């Protein structure tokens, strides 16, 4: 036997009303971007960086001289270059 499904009683608006409500909200106030904290916890994104042997040995040598970890060195270099490029 086929069980006929009916619309739930708590759904009171039609699809057209929902579309109209959504479109009306698009004309509202613009959303302000969030202020990002440069010292926030680093759990937003992660990436894997493959290196060839020459690049990795250069990274290790530079880290020893600078007294930084490999990840810290790469992060510092990225931020410095980004500061120069984004002005």
Give residue 11's pLDDT band: very low, low, confident or very high (50, 70, 90). low
Taking residues 10-36, report their average pLDDT. 73
pLDDT in tens, 45-63: 999 999 999 999 999 999 9
Q: Is the pLDDT of residue 35 over 80?
A: yes
Query: Is the distance from CB of 73 to CB of 59 less than 8 angstroms?
Result: yes
**Domain count of the fold of the chain:** 1
> Has residue 5 been placed in a domain?
no
Q: How far apart are CA 59 and CA 74, in angstroms?
A: 8
Q: How far apart are CA 31 and CA 12, in angstroms?
A: 28
Model confidence, pTM: 0.58
> Has residue 13 been placed in a domain?
no
> Has residue 73 been placed in a domain?
yes
The predicted pLDDT at position 32 comes to 75
> Has residue 66 been placed in a domain?
yes
- Domain encompassing residue 63: 48-87
Q: How far apart are CA 42 and CA 58, in angstroms?
A: 25
The predicted pLDDT at position 3 comes to 81
Give residue 21's pLDDT band: very low, low, confident or very high (50, 70, 90). confident
> Has residue 39 been placed in a domain?
no
> Has residue 27 been placed in a domain?
no
> Has residue 74 been placed in a domain?
yes
pLDDT averaged over the chain? 86
């Amino acid at each position: 036997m086929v069980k006929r499904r009916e619309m739930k009683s708590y759904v009171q608006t039609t699809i057209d009303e929902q579309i109209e409500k959504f479109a009306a909200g698009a004309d509202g106030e613009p959303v302000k971007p969030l202020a990002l904290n440069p010292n926030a916890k680093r759990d937003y994104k992660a990436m894997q960086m493959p290196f060839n042997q020459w690049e990795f040995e250069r990274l290790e040598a530079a880290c020893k001289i600078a007294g930084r970890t490999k990840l810290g060195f790469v992060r510092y270099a990225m931020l410095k270059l980004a500061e120069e490029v984004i002005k």
